[in-house]
């Protein structure tokens, strides 16, 4: 159940992870900073570090990698809560009740937290791949914005008397990172072009339902997330097409092959074809993979 909201300002206890960015142990490179942010279990530290490293990278104050870098972990750092359960155990509630809106916002916060780590992992894990500097520019922009989204949703939860960790969450989102940890092209196919693109399909209806329920503040948060998601899918589509062109492969056919090999399940309609196409993900990529065509 959500906790009672206290009027006393919450004190920020930075915890031991602050040593990661102290003068005694400075971030060595982009790969090092991204890996440390993934490892951080304090979520205030994780999001602050992700945004700080992104800012420093975009200001050209970090190198791409160094010999002493922290390497990306197999799993990201997480606090003790929320309880992680099977997706089938996550309950759905009506958005017309406060508890239902809290449950939805908590699920979105969980998605945005994982999206932050997934963006950081693309940078840290594939820092030795022969990619242009602008590739890392794009993914650190994504990491910065996903961290922003998590913090925005968390603040909205707190305004409703709850917090991240109060509701069980499912443990399947990081599986995409594990399954594609050795293949950048597969990672781009599954994470931005399947998981992130799903947000383009469902977010418009969710924000409309929030407004119908009179929760304009939560709908405004979803407005920001939706506009940023369009950019994130476009970044994924750009670099997926880049890799396919460099290898002389048809992008749509390669996408379908990689999704069938690396993604459990199938993309679910209805699709937001206009938003997907504007991001460079045309129906030739995903229509043949949809659950309506997999029987």
Q: Could you tell me the pLDDT band of residue 248, with boundaries at 50, 70 and 90?
A: very high
CA distance 206 to 221: 11
Q: Does residue 74 fall inside a structural domain?
A: no
Q: Domain tally for the chain?
A: 1
Judged by DSSP in three states, 161 sits in coil
76 in a domain, yes or no? no
DSSP 252-291: HHHHHHHHHHH-SS---S---HHHHHHTT--HHHHGGGSG
Map tokens 């707190």 to a residue.
158
Q: Among residues of the chain, what percentage have pLDDT more than 90?
A: 78
Q: With 90 as the cut, is the pLDDT of residue 2 above it?
A: no
pTM score: 0.89
C-alpha 81: how far from chain center: 19
- CATH code for the domain in which residue 211 is found: 1.20.1260
Residue 220 exposure: Cα atoms within 13 Å on the Cβ side? 7
What is residue 184's predicted lDDT score, i.e. its pLDDT?
98
Q: What pLDDT score was predicted for residue 15?
A: 40
Tell me the mean pLDDT in the region 184-211.
96
Contacts of 286 (CB under 8 A, 6+ apart): 193, 197, 255, 267, 271, 276
CA-to-CA distance for 186 and 195, rounded, in angstroms? 13
Residue 234 and residue 200 in contact, taking contact as beta carbons nearer than 8 Å: no
Establish if 114 belongs to a structural domain.
Answer: yes
With respect to residue 188, please indicate whether it lies within any of the assigned structural domains. yes
Domain for residue 75, yes or no? Answer: no
Compute the average pLDDT of residues 177-194: 94
The three-class DSSP label of residue 205 is helix
Residue 71 lies in a domain: no
- Residue 96 confidence class, pLDDT cut points 50, 70, 90: confident
Q: Are 191 and 236 in contact (CB under 8 A)?
A: yes
Interval 118-142: pLDDT, tens: 999 999 999 999 999 999 999 999 9
Residue 12 lies in a domain: no
Domain span including residue 146:
21-66+83-293
């Amino acid at each position: 159940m959500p906790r009672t909201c206290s009027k006393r300002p919450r004190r920020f206890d930075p915890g031991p992870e602050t040593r990661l960015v102290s003068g005694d142990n400075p971030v060595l490179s982009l790969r090092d900073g991204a890996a440390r942010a993934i490892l951080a279990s304090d979520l205030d530290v994780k999001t602050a570090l992700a945004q700080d490293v992104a800012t420093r990278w975009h200001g050209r104050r970090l190198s791409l990698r160094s010999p002493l870098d922290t390497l990306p972990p197999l799993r990201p750092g997480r606090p003790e809560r929320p309880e992680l359960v099977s997706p089938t155990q996550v309950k759905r509630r009506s958005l017309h009740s406060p508890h239902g809106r809290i449950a939805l916002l908590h699920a979105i916060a969980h998605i945005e937290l994982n999206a932050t780590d997934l963006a950081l992992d693309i940078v840290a894990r594939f820092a030795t791949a022969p990619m242009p500097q602008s590739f890392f520019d794009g993914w650190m922009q994504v990491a910065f914005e996903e961290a922003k989204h998590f913090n925005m949703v968390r603040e909205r939860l707190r305004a409703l008397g709850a917090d991240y960790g109060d509701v069980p969450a499912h443990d399947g989102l990081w599986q995409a990172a594990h399954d594609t940890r050795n293949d950048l092209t597969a990672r781009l196919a599954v994470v931005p072009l399947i998981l992130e693109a799903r947000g383009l399909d469902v977010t418009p209806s969710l924000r409309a339902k929030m407004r119908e329920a009179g929760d304009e503040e939560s709908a405004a948060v979803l407005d920001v997330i939706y506009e940023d998601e369009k950019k994130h899918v476009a970044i994924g589509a750009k670099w997926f097409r880049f890799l396919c062109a460099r290898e002389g492969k048809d992008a749509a056919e390669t996408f379908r092959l990689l999704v069938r090999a690396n993604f459990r399940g199938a993309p679910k309609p209805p699709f937001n074809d206009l938003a997907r196409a504007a991001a460079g993900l045309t129906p030739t990529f995903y229509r043949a993979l949809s659950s309506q065509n997999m029987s």
